[in-house]
Amino acid sequence: MTAYPEPQARAPGAQTPSPVLPYFNQRPAPIIPIRPIGPEHREQLLRHFLALSAEDRYLRFGYAASDERIRAYVDSIRFGQDVIFGVFNRKLDLLAVAHIAIEPGQTARAEFGVSVLPRGRGLGIGTRLFQRAAIEARNRGFRQLYMQCLSSNAAMLKIARRAGMTVHNEGGETEAYLALPDDDYQSHFDALLENQTGQIDYWFKALMRQWRCFWLFGRCAQGVETA
């Protein structure tokens, strides 16, 4: 595989790149509520990944992931170190999941991975999740966001090119990376606003789900997560 160029340290007082990432300069992004995901959503994460077809699992993980491998992956997610974002539908199922993987001790770059269920494709959700991941990585001080995928993964390659990432193809695999500017007040405000919007959207969907249960059945099943 082609080696990534190492992110260069910024000299004190040096001018940083524009705080506007390449994709942000294009057309306005669709309004898609994105919510941070914690360990309390591990079961929803598992259902999301198990719902992927064999082909989708191969594209997402780079290998034919069995149900057992999926369960092991979900159990291995390091909440508190890695960052997970999700898009929920009105039934509180995870329609899409983004995983920002951060290696222990790594301070220069983070890895992005994403999966979207078939009924959520073609709506710009994957690109919006990348945009949210870039803001998060930037605010955490990382200088580079990168991703690895199979060269046949057209959806990931589309995200990479729309975001202005540098793309390297070698054999059947592709690597892409995006240099991130320094964080600023605007980037932190954007992250706060996105988180609050995603949280309010989730609460609203949870309340509407409970209302429908009571209206139709006079009661609602236990275990509806509203946190």
Q: What is the CATH number assigned to the segment(s) 22-217?
A: 3.40.630.30
Q: Is the pLDDT of residue 107 over 90?
A: no
Q: Is the pLDDT of residue 2 over 50?
A: no
Confidence (pLDDT) at 211 = 74
Task: Report the alpha-carbon distance of residue 212 to residue 197 in Å, rounded.
Answer: 22
Confidence (pLDDT) at 20 = 42
In whole angstroms, how far apart are CA 13 and each of 10, 16, 78, 183? 8, 9, 35, 15
Q: What is the mean pLDDT of residues 174-200?
A: 94
Where exactly are the structural domains of the chain? 22-217
Whole-number percent of the chain with pLDDT over 90: 69
By the 8 A CB rule, do 177 and 145 touch? yes
Confidence (pLDDT) at 184 = 95
Q: What is the pLDDT of residues 48-77, one digit of tens each?
A: 999 999 999 999 999 999 999 999 999 999
Q: Please state the separation of Cα 217 from the chain's center in Å.
A: 36
User: Which phi and psi (to 5°) does residue 70 adopt?
Assistant: -65, -45
Q: Is the pLDDT of residue 30 over 70?
A: no
For β-strands 109-116 and 144-150, DSSP reports them as parallel
Task: Report the alpha-carbon distance of residue 150 to residue 166 in Å, rounded.
Answer: 16
Per-residue tokens: 210: 């409970």
Confidence (pLDDT) at 194 = 94
Q: What is the mean pLDDT of residues 171-191?
A: 94
What pTM, to 2 d.p., does this model score?
0.81
The pLDDT confidence band at residue 6, using thresholds 50, 70 and 90, is: low
Give strand pairing partners of 114: 98
Whole-number percent of the chain with pLDDT over 70: 80
Confidence (pLDDT) at 187 = 95
By the 8 A CB rule, do 112 and 145 touch? yes
User: H-helix or E-strand containing 127?
Assistant: helix 125-139
Confidence (pLDDT) at 167 = 94
